[in-house]
A and B are shown apart, each in its own frame.
Chain A
Amino acid sequence: MSGNLTVTMPSDLEVTMVRVFDAPRALVFEAHAKCEHLKHWWGRGNPLDCEIDFRPGGGYRFVEHAPDGADYAFHGEFREIKEPELIVQTFEFEGMPGHVCVETLELTEDGGRTTVTSVTRFDTKQERDGMVASGMADGARESYDSLDAYLRTLAADKGVSGRG
């Protein structure tokens, strides 16, 4: 069930996610920049160890402690930061060392609500397929619902005027 998150693939090496938050942009930006905030959400409700040096050239490391006792560690570095509208960072899952992707987060505000558009770019098809193999798609077959939803995003994403 995809609340108000849309996921599309503008190319075979990119995944774009768009999510709208009912909060001003400065606050959403800050929630991405400080451990005191990140601890509350990045671990998806699980305890999170957080280290962050939020400036270009700085880095971060998050360790999520899942209920099954497994730890998931991620780290990366900040390539570009424009408060409160842009964060470009690398992202590496330590369970799959060497597979680095680049995430670009853009924040736009409209009427007190903030849209976060994140584009994850994999360097190569191997990286992307590594992500597949890593259990990102953990085989929880979502029946044809996910296919329907996906086709709808394809249709919405036509980029040509087909049948409307």
Chain B
Amino acid sequence: MEDRLSEVFGALADPTRRAILARLAEGEATVNQLAEPFPISLQAVSRHLKVLERAGLVSRGRNAQWRPCRLDAGPLREVADWVAGYQRFWVERYDHLGDYLQRLQRDQERQEG
């Protein structure tokens, strides 16, 4: 589980791969369709897809001619949960800071006023 998480984080570390995933979040696509928006070769896109497949984030259809790519959300969910957990900690903390800063400023205004 943790090794896979590392694999997923590694796959997500590249902006082109993140963009490919974001595109696949909208629906299946062929390699050609995926390559369209990027100023890189089809081979480079294929290489990125292999990394994403290894991390279990993308699966390929059976149709030999097209082999459309599909997003597999499972591993991404683990990462999202991890990020969400991390985020929860800090959202609470920073929400308290935000409230406290408001209070501080009101007190300052009262003292000056």
Interface residues of A (CB under 8 A from B): 1-3, 5, 7, 9, 11-12, 15, 17, 19, 21-23, 27-28, 31, 37, 40-45, 116, 125, 128-129, 131-133, 135-142, 144, 146-147, 149-151, 154-155, 157-163
Contact = CB atoms under 8 A, between A and B. Distances in A.
Interface of B: 2, 5-6, 9-10, 12-13, 15-16, 18-19, 21-23, 25-26, 37-39, 73, 76-77, 79-102, 104-105
Contacts of B15: 157-160
Contacts, number: 160
Contacts of A28: 97, 101
A41 B98 CA distance: 9
Which DSSP category, helix, strand, loop or mixed, fits chain B's interface? helix
Nearest to A128: B9
Q: Is chain A's binding surface mostly helix, strand, loop or mixed?
A: mixed
A159 B19 contact: yes
A53 to B, nearest CB: 21
Given A125-B6, A155-B22, A15 B83 contact: yes
Most buried by B among A7, A43, A158, A163: A158
B105 A159 contact: no
Given A28-B97, A150-B76, 19 more contacts: A2-B91, A9-B83, A12-B9, A12-B12, A22-B102, A27-B101, A41-B93, A44-B89, A129-B5, A132-B5, A137-B82, A140-B81, A140-B85, A150-B83, A151-B76, A154-B18, A160-B39, A162-B23, A162-B38
B85 A137 contact: yes
A12 B13 contact: yes
Nearest to B20: A162
Contacts of B76: 147, 150-151
Given A2-B91, A40-B96, A125 B84 contact: no
A101 B6 CA distance: 17
